[in-house]
Amino acid sequence: MTGEGIRQAIVEIIGDIVPDEDLAAIEPDKSLREQISLDSMDFLDIVMELRKRYSVEVPEKDYPMLATMNSTINYLLPKMENL
């Protein structure tokens, strides 16, 4: 999967979790939680969906790597490049 594919996958997951949010204008280097109404449970749902849909494990110590769209893509790229 490419970086763009990962971005689309993340947007799809977030869209399923918070369907009323406008995800078209997500700024890639700004905190996702500042741009979207995500609480801690929503964030955990994103991590769970990554595991369910793509078999990607994100250990708790790595959660800060998922702060922005770009940091999420950079973190997930080596884990998802063969999908």
The token pair that represents 76 in the structure block:
């997930």
Give per-residue burial for 54-65: e unless 16+ CB within 10 Å, then b.
bebebeeeeeee
Residue 83 pLDDT greater than 90, yes or no: no
Amino acid in the structure at residue 7 = R
pLDDT single digits (tens) 9-54? 999 999 999 999 889 889 999 999 999 989 999 999 999 999 999 9
Question: The whole model's pTM is what?
Answer: 0.92
